[in-house]
Structure 1
Amino acid sequence: MSEPLPHLAFESHEHSLKNKVILVTGAGDGIGKQAAISYAQCGATVILLGRTTSKLEAVYDHIVSEGLTQPSIVPLDHEGATSTHYKGLADTIGEEYGRLDGILLNASVLGALCPFEEIKESEFDQVMQINVKAQVLMLQALLPLLREAQTSSVVFTTSSVGRVGRAFWGAYSMSKFATEGMMQILADEHKNKAIRFNCINPGATRTQMRAKAYPGEDANTLKTPSQIMPTYVYLMSDVSRGVSGESLDCQPK
């Protein structure tokens, strides 16, 4: 019998991410929310970024209620944010922490699932803005801070439809192909350096986006965000220092 993959067999503990500063986008809901909590439980100081302040405050309260390191909240809507906003974010993180050890790029939107010729220009623009362009601008602003860390990790969120195109998945599928490409470019540009770049495909997980894509599906048959966290913590921890340019599945077939 083959050995389990390292990211699936990884067992985290309260010091797995000790003293690390990690930014999580889309931290108010679903996988982003759970990742922020899990990172805090492993010793990290978490920066919670999302568009809905009340949801970020709920995650903040959850983390504080467990007696974990106090997180920070950054309300920011990727749809309207510009390079100036991301430069301001970098300045704030630099002043507060002096470095950035990790980023989980989790925020994304699904868009309409429809035939290719029915994709609306406005919806295509929205998906590409949030899922692709926002990540480009954010990373351009934050790379200097990531270089200040002894070792740092950037984790993108991908999908099976970002590896093999699927009918009717339109803009979302194209945005995830772009995500995979962005990760590979950055990993290649930073070969033999202290920053690593990888993708995670969470697979079928009990989230609002999954429910929107598969409205007839029984959510109780799906894994919860907490059940797929080993891979998320693994890629942020120093255990994965030699891993870069990879696209990992939380739920391999």
Structure 2
Amino acid sequence: MTALPDLTGRIALVTGASRGIGYFIARHMAAAGAHVIAVARTTGGLEELDDQIKAEKDRTGKGEATLVPLDLTDMDGIDRLGGAVNERWGKLDILVANAGLLGVIAPIGHVEAKTFEKVMTVNVTSTWRLIRSVDPLLRQSDAGRAILLSSGAAHSARAFWAPYAASKAAVEAMARSWADETRNMALCVNSVDPGATRTAMRAQAMPGEDPETLPHPGDIAARIVPLADPTETRTGQIYQARHDRWVSYRMPE
């Protein structure tokens, strides 16, 4: 596994933390010493995560979690989350906006309006609402780090993937604008393309694929966690986790 950075004493908020890549990002960040605010709809998955973090702390003395059961379609709940973080800690060091929804794989003209709207609500609007809620808190950190999960679909725009591809392109655009707004600050904002990974979402999209041919989400998560290191100062870029490769965008003059 990729060596984890030292995140001792840092406060990290991770959405979609009950399974898949988000679950392992939360575990790895806790193992690196962070206090993880784990957000997800599924209480059972959050409790399992908490059990793992506590077991690891018993062995190493590192890591803690605060569990936040929250459906990210609850916009007022996202606003309250920022207020609760501010009241307890007065800052946030790390944001990992990982939660996402695939929707359907179908011709664009066959996608139902309610399906398209839900993908946009979960993947785009809730991410914007979360950014708005915690941006002031990240600016209070000595080295705020925001990591927004994207997808290669944002660039390949493959047939039948229109809602998901459009949503991830929007997330990347928000990340780049946010990075440009904050490029003279201690806050760094980057997108991550995890690549094909052995997750439930991938199985939904590619039901005939052998999952054993894909990287484990824990391995991909371990490659993403170093982006939260205070010494990592790149911003406004995309990190392709599966290939350990950065893609740079030219910032406006």
TM-score by shorter chain over 0.5: yes
Report the Cα distance in structure 1 between the residues aligned to 2:117 and 2:44, rounded to whole angstroms: 27
- After superposition, where does 1:5-16 map in structure 2 within 5 Å? 11-12=3-4, 16=6
1:245 is matched with which residue? 236
- The partner residue of 2:70 within 76, 87, 94 is 76
Indicate conservation of the 8 Å contact 2:22/2:221, yes or no. Answer: no
- After superposition, where does 1:78-227 map in structure 2 within 5 Å? 78-79=72-73, 81-82=74-75, 84-227=76-219
Report the 3-state secondary structure (helix = DSSP H, G, I; strand = E; otherwise coil) of the residue aligned with 1:238. coil
Report the Cα distance in structure 2 between the residues aligned to 1:138 and 1:12, rounded to whole angstroms: 26
Work out whether 1:233 is the aligned partner of 2:229. no
2:55 is matched with which residue? 65
**Displacement of 1:213 after TM fit?**
0.6
Report the 3-state secondary structure (helix = DSSP H, G, I; strand = E; otherwise coil) of the residue aligned with 2:64. coil
Q: Could you say if the C-alpha distance between residues 10 and 55 of structure 1 is closer, same or farther in structure 2, counting changes exceeding 3 Å?
A: closer
**Displacement of 1:111 after TM fit?**
0.4
Report the Cα distance in structure 1 between the residues aligned to 2:46 and 2:84, rounded to whole angstroms: 18
Report the Cα distance in structure 1 between the residues aligned to 2:101 and 2:211, rounded to whole angstroms: 19
1:38 is matched with which residue? 28
Q: Deviation per CA, 1:107-142, whole angstroms, max 9, x where unpaired? A: 000001001111110000000000000011111111
Indicate conservation of the 8 Å contact 1:90/1:141, yes or no. Answer: yes
Indicate conservation of the 8 Å contact 1:119/1:170, yes or no. Answer: no
Letter paired with 1:73? L
1:56 is matched with which residue? 46
**Displacement of 1:59 after TM fit?**
0.4
What count of residue pairs does the alignment treat as equivalent?
240
Report the Cα distance in structure 2 between the residues aligned to 1:246 and 1:56, rounded to whole angstroms: 30
**Displacement of 1:69 after TM fit?**
2.7
**Displacement of 1:60 after TM fit?**
0.7
Letter paired with 2:15? T
Give 5+ residue unaligned stretches, structure 2: 246-253
Report the 3-state secondary structure (helix = DSSP H, G, I; strand = E; otherwise coil) of the residue aligned with 2:36. strand
Letter paired with 2:40? G
Indicate conservation of the 8 Å contact 2:150/2:191, yes or no. Answer: yes
Give 5+ residue unaligned stretches, structure 1: 1-8
Indicate conservation of the 8 Å contact 1:204/1:222, yes or no. Answer: yes
**Displacement of 1:11 after TM fit?**
2.5
- The partner residue of 1:26 within 8, 11, 16 is 16
**Displacement of 1:10 after TM fit?**
5.9
Instruction: Tell me which stretches of 4 or more aligned residues in structure 1 moved more than 4 Å.
Output: none
**Displacement of 1:70 after TM fit?**
2.4
Please tell me the root mean square deviation across aligned C-alpha atoms, in Å: 1.4
Q: Deviation per CA, 1:13-56, whole angstroms, max 9, x where unpaired? A: 5xx11111000000000100000000001110000000111111
Report the 3-state secondary structure (helix = DSSP H, G, I; strand = E; otherwise coil) of the residue aligned with 1:217. coil
